[in-house]
Amino acid sequence: MSVWEYAPAPESRDLANLRPNYRPFVDGEFVDGGGDPLTSLNPATEEPLAEVGTASESDVDAAVRAARRAFEQVWGPMPGAERAKYLFRIARLLQERARELAVLETLDNGKPIKESRDSDVPTAAAHFFYHAGWADKLDYAGYGPDPQPLGVAGQIIPWNFPLLMLAWKIAPALATGNTVVLKPAETTPLSALVFAEICQQAGLPAGVVNIVPGAGDVGSLLVRHPGIDKIAFTGSTAVGKEIQHAVAGTPKRLTLELGGKAANVVFDDAPLDQAVEGIVGGIFFNQGHVCCAGSRLLVQESVAEELLGKLRARVSTLRLGDPLDKNTDIGAINSAEQLAKIRELTASGEDEGAERWTSPCELPERGFYFAPTVLSGVEQSMRVAREEIFGPVLSVLTFRTPDEAVTKANNTPYGLSAGLWTEKGSRILWLADRMRAGVVWANTFNRFDPAAPFGGYQESGFGREGGRTGLEAYLHV
């Protein structure tokens, strides 16, 4: 069979308007951070992209004070209808600068341009657009008349969806009348600092949004700062537990969106080709750097071999390589550290007896890459069935009966998401009731919308983002 090669279709790197230096954003101005500057790498090439100033303790302090002042003097007293118009402006500016942001995000994160272009950036804009409308309608949100904001929110976001996670955090906080100090992830700070510029362009009052780049120590300063009323964190369960511990006994409010080990359950009556697409999207989207990734495939024994065959064939066609190429399906792993973790956990799966199959795709010589991998014959006791890998590695287990599927799916301390594949409607609803997870995708996977609440059960965290439910995280209720 002849193979049709794709011609290279790279998006222009110039669109990112990359600058050599980026700086923290405090009280409406870009400032020289007092912390040691960090260098953000392009994980696809390992080349430095830009130098980024980081926040020192006094910068964090200044940011919190600015946010407090803005909350008390400007943003808090402002009528909701006026706040809304700033959020609409931000949504529009994000749409207008979408190409720039998509390319920048791909350079800084390593994700394929088609994902940053078609998913991250438009969904980020949608979050601002959706929440803008809430700002003057909070009386109708179900929390009684005139629900009050919490004050200053400290927000800490991960590197897997830098701009989108920023939108999930900032949009509801501002809509409900809070001001924010946000720390982007150490390896992906750039889009947040361009967002700061968008805040300036939107004429957002100084101090309403402050961005303090840095590593975990800056996050820790935020978590412990007495001037902060609320912490919102998205990231690993281990760090989430540390934050919950640190906040314990203080009046700070807390919401956590943590890790997951989602089951993607395929029954023998599922449309297998459709299921294969969903399984592939569920685990290989964004290189598997997704907290709700369908990382445990639970397949009914009678169709396991057939499904695995189809799955391997489909995964073999995934194109791994330059994230800026519009045909690329799998981009770069975000950091050397994450790559090492993925390798270590995958190797542990092999050591514990799983069968490893890896896509025969070629890996670029430079950059952090990991070929899509399927581990079959996985048992529940193996680390690859219990621990979040956060990479393009799928663990395959089997089941015989619906009850066994439920038991295995729920056999995890996490509870963020679950996938179900069956043509039988009554079975979907029966299973959806029994999945101990905050999001259940039936005959689809990885769907996100600002109108649909997202968040976990158990050790996947507490609080929701999106929808009417998500407003609760930023209101005195």
Partner 1 sequence: MSDRVSVAKTYKLYIDGKFPRSESGRTYPVTDAEGGFLANASHASRKDVRDAVSAARKAFGGWSGATAYNRGQVLYRVAEVLEGRREQFAAEVAACEGVPTADAMCTVDAAVDRWVWYAGWTDKIASVLGAANPVAGPYFSFTVPEPTGVVGVLAPQSSSLLGLVSVLAPVVATGCTAVVVSSADRPLPAITLSEVLATSDVPGGVVNVLTGRADELGPWLASHADVNAIDPTGASAESRVDIAQQASGTVKRVLTVPGDEPDWTRRPDISRLRRYLEAKTVWHPKGT
Residue nearer to partner 1 on the CB measure, 23 or 252? 252
Residue 13 has phi, psi (to 5 degrees) of -65, -25
Q: What is the CA radius of gyration of the chain?
A: 22
Residue nearer to partner 1 on the CB measure, 411 or 443? 443
Which residue in 52, 211, 228, 256 binds partner 1 (CB under 8 A)?
A: 256
Q: DSSP letter string over 2-32? A: ---PPPP-BPPGGGG---SEE--EETTEE--
Which residue in 150, 198, 258, 333 binds partner 1 (CB under 8 A)?
A: 258
* Shortest spacing between CB 167 and partner 1, in angstroms: 15
Edge-to-edge strand list for the sheet holding 21-22: 21-22, 47-52, 38-42
By three-state DSSP, how is residue 89 classified? helix
**Residue 336 sits in the site that holds partner 1 (CB under 8 A):** no
Q: Which tokens in the block code for residue 383?
A: 């680390």
Which residue in 95, 200, 236, 244 binds partner 1 (CB under 8 A)?
A: 244
By three-state DSSP, how is residue 210 classified? strand
**Residue 477 sits in the site that holds partner 1 (CB under 8 A):** yes
Q: Which tokens in the block code for residue 392?
A: 């393009």
- Scanning 72-80, 99-107, 246-254, 373-381 for contacts with partner 1 by CB under 8 A, the matching segment is 246-254
Query: Hey, which residues between 133 and 162 contact partner 1 (CB under 8 A)?
Result: 142, 144
List beta partners, residue 417: 439
Q: How many CA atoms are closer than 13 Å to the CA of 42, on its beta-carbon side?
A: 18
Query: Of 154, 155, 149, which is closest to residue 227 (Cα–Cα)?
Result: 154
Which residue in 6, 9, 96, 241 binds partner 1 (CB under 8 A)?
A: 241
Is residue 305 part of the annotated active site? The answer reads: no
**Residue 287 sits in the site that holds partner 1 (CB under 8 A):** no
Which residue in 458, 471, 473, 475 binds partner 1 (CB under 8 A)?
A: 458
**Residue 449 sits in the site that holds partner 1 (CB under 8 A):** yes
**Residue 467 sits in the site that holds partner 1 (CB under 8 A):** yes
Which residue in 202, 372, 455, 473 binds partner 1 (CB under 8 A)?
A: 455
* Shortest spacing between CB 468 and partner 1, in angstroms: 6
| CA dihedral of residues 11, 12, 14, 18 (deg, nearest 10) | 30
By three-state DSSP, how is residue 29 classified? strand
Handedness of CA 448, 452, 457, 460 (dihedral sign): positive
Residue nearer to partner 1 on the CB measure, 188 or 237? 237
CA-to-CA distance for 48 and 43, rounded, in angstroms? 9
Q: Give residue 14's identity as a one-letter amino acid code.
A: D
For residues 280 and 268, the answer to whether their CB atoms sit within 8 Å is no
Query: Hey, which residues between 99 and 138 contact partner 1 (CB under 8 A)?
Result: 126
Query: Hey, which residues between 368 and 427 contact partner 1 (CB under 8 A)?
Result: 413
For residues 318 and 280, the answer to whether their CB atoms sit within 8 Å is yes
**Residue 457 sits in the site that holds partner 1 (CB under 8 A):** yes
**Residue 461 sits in the site that holds partner 1 (CB under 8 A):** yes
- Name the active-site residue from 11, 105, 186, 257: 257
* Shortest spacing between CB 88 and partner 1, in angstroms: 17
**Residue 428 sits in the site that holds partner 1 (CB under 8 A):** yes
**Residue 459 sits in the site that holds partner 1 (CB under 8 A):** yes
Q: Which residues are CB-contacts of 318 (< 8 A; sequence separation ≥ 6)?
A: 280, 284, 329, 330, 359, 361, 372
Residue nearer to partner 1 on the CB measure, 238 or 340? 238
* Shortest spacing between CB 155 and partner 1, in angstroms: 18
Residue nearer to partner 1 on the CB measure, 121 or 375? 121
**Residue 349 sits in the site that holds partner 1 (CB under 8 A):** no
Which residue in 54, 155, 188, 237 binds partner 1 (CB under 8 A)?
A: 237
The DSSP call for residue 449 is -
- For the chain, what percentages of helix, strand and coil (3-state, to nearest 5) are there? 45, 15, 40
Count other Cβ atoms within 10 Å, centred on residue 144: 12
* Shortest spacing between CB 433 and partner 1, in angstroms: 8
- Scanning 22-30, 107-115, 163-171, 434-442 for contacts with partner 1 by CB under 8 A, the matching segment is 434-442
- Given its phi and psi angles, is residue 151 left (phi above 0), alpha (psi -120 to 50 degrees) or beta? left
**Residue 33 sits in the site that holds partner 1 (CB under 8 A):** no
Query: Of 90, 58, 61, which is closest to residue 205 (Cα–Cα)?
Result: 90
- Scanning 102-110, 343-351, 380-388, 457-465 for contacts with partner 1 by CB under 8 A, the matching segment is 457-465
**Residue 366 sits in the site that holds partner 1 (CB under 8 A):** no
- Scanning 16-24, 301-309, 372-380, 442-450 for contacts with partner 1 by CB under 8 A, the matching segment is 442-450
List beta partners, residue 51: 21, 39
Q: β-strands 179-183, 25-26: how paired?
A: unpaired
Residue nearer to partner 1 on the CB measure, 138 or 204? 138
CA-to-CA distance for 199 and 418, rounded, in angstroms? 36
Residue nearer to partner 1 on the CB measure, 340 or 451? 451
First to last CA, the chain: 64
Active-site positions read 257
Q: Give me the residues that bind partner 1 (CB under 8 A), please.
A: 126, 142, 144, 237, 240-242, 244-245, 248-249, 253, 256, 258, 274, 413, 428, 432-433, 435, 437-444, 447, 449, 451-455, 457-462, 464, 467-469, 472, 477
